[in-house]
Amino acid sequence: MGIDGNTILAQSLKKQGVEYVFGIVGIPVIETALAFQLAGLKYVGMRNEQAACYAAQAVGYLTGKPGVCLAVSGPGLLHCIGGMANAQVNCWPLIVIAGSCPQDHEGIGGFQEWPQVESSRLYCKYAVRPPSPRLIPLHVEKAVRLASSGRPGVAYIDMPGTLLMAEAEEDQVPIDYYNADPVRLAHPDPALVEQAASVLAKAERPLIIVGKGAAYGRAEDAICRLVNNTKIPVLPTPMGKGVVPDESEFCVSTARTQALLKADVILLLGARLNWMLHFGQTPRFAPDVKVIQVDISPEEFHNSIKSEVAVHSDIKPFTEALIQKLAEKQVALQTNSNDWWQALKQKQKANTEFVLAQSNDKSVPLNYYAVFKAVQANIPKDSIIVSEGANTMDIGRGLLLNNKPRHRLDAGTFGTMGVGPGFAIAAAMWCRDYAPEKRVICVEGDSAFGFSGMEIETMFRYKLPVIIVIVNNNGIYSGFNKEVMQDLQSGGDVTQCTPPTALSVEVRYEKMMEIFGESGHLCRTVEEIEAAVKKALSVTDKPSIINILIDPQSNRKPQTFSWLTESKL
């Protein structure tokens, strides 16, 4: 009996444990999506390939198993490139599968013909076109394994229309192709654990920095034990939030600048010394700081500074080994009397007082801090927070708390805008299947929402109760009120006098709900925000939009240093 390429592909993905597919169908992958559903894969049809790609990688991060993005040929695959780059830089597992021009049309101007495998190589760990239907299972297994193993990333599988329709004898197709046991965690060199423990034991001002690699590595229990045992202050990167609860007494996010600047030893767990951590360089770090760098990818070692100790290991086994070694050395700090802790607590107190003053200011138009305080006070404690935008994401990071790992999804290392709705759809699908009690709160700047806002239709179609909160300041970074915009645009050619950061004033994004016969929420006051969030939480089978109009000139707290470390060239 014959079996076609679509069926072989679908059954191979199912055999490898893939669960979710996000995509947009068209020639030649309509039958492919139907075959996926027939094989038991969960297919979510999106409105834009970029958003589908964002959703697939987010579900990969949440589950540890690659999500699949399915796209049509040519432009469909090219629309995925931004998402592929984001997953590769973010180190999230993703498989992109695109249909392509029939092989007998190549070179003569076939429909949507494009060199897709070659175009994908820059954004992938693995890019392939299976040479025959019989070999599809081999390449699916390899794509899943490479996307998941070591430092996670992207695999691309190219499926020409002729390959999807081609048939092979079922008994000659190895659907049960070599399916390796899960890759075992990499354990650290005991000598390096000893060395790391010795460096920490001598530290006067130690600091633990936790990155999303620790979250992806499911190392939260071990890291929390390490912190509780040693009393060492912890600073999370944005998506490292929740590995140690934000509300932990050992989390020093509110004294971030002080912690980085004064630490003499830093234990870096699953984070990279890139722009998000100012490259580990002065003036944001002490010139003589000693860094203990733990990473699954040895290529990451010594990139921007020379680490004191560089340990190639998964985060969990390293942390467990370090706990044992530090216990032998009896390393612990006295939380209440240690000078290092006292300095951090003073800075935390000063910064918290500023934030409290701002968040208690309910005057209209509202500022960011008052908005986030109202949202945080009214959402469930362990909600998954999706966030993107400039000030919206940065200020919200400190006020919207995460006490569980993998509960914050944002623009990430690549700083990609437009990820929010796709991430939220993935998170809501995951919640439906694995944590139905949780809610997904998607907090968007008005500029960021504009990238992928039509995915609201996808949320309605799949009955996903995502709460979209749009913090609307009429612009990119900052905007202008109605009177100022009218004055600015009265001077002649609007392309010459409209500020590049300006967006339209007080756009009624919540009215998008009316397309679906529903009503959104427009908020100008704290009381209106509170009522809107409570109403949105009562809805469990459709999304909600809460459009909050704020002061267009509202900004973040003045910084001691520029948020982005300047080039020294």
pLDDT at 71: 98
Q: From start to end of 106-264, where are the E strands?
A: 126-128, 154-160, 167-169, 206-210, 234-236
Predicted local distance difference test score (pLDDT) of residue 2: 86
**Mean pLDDT in runs of 10 for the chain (569 residues)?**
92 96 97 98 98 98 97 98 97 98 91 95 97 95 94 97 92 75 86 97 96 96 97 96 97 96 97 94 95 94 94 97 90 65 95 94 97 98 96 94 98 94 98 97 97 98 98 95 91 90 97 98 98 98 98 79 65
Q: Cα separation of 203 and 160, whole Å? A: 58
pLDDT score at 335: 46
Buried-state track 166-190, b at ≥16 Cβ within 10 A, e below 16: bebeeeebbbebeeeeeeeeeebee
The DSSP bridge pattern shows strands 167-169 and 2-4 to be antiparallel
Residue ranges with strand state E in 420-543: 440-445, 467-472, 521-523
CA distances from 216 to 15, 29, 194, 268, 361 (A): 23, 31, 25, 15, 38
Q: What is the rounded distance in angstroms from the CA atom of residue 324 to the CA atom of residue 307?
A: 23
Alpha helices (H) in 121-219, listed in sequence order:
136-148, 161-165, 190-201, 212-216
What is the rounded (10 degree) CA torsion for 460, 465, 468, 469?
150
CA geometry: angle at 486 spanning 480 and 491, to 5°?
115
Write the CA distances from 107 to 72, 112, 384, integer angstroms: 19, 12, 48
- pLDDT at residue 332, rounded to an integer: 62
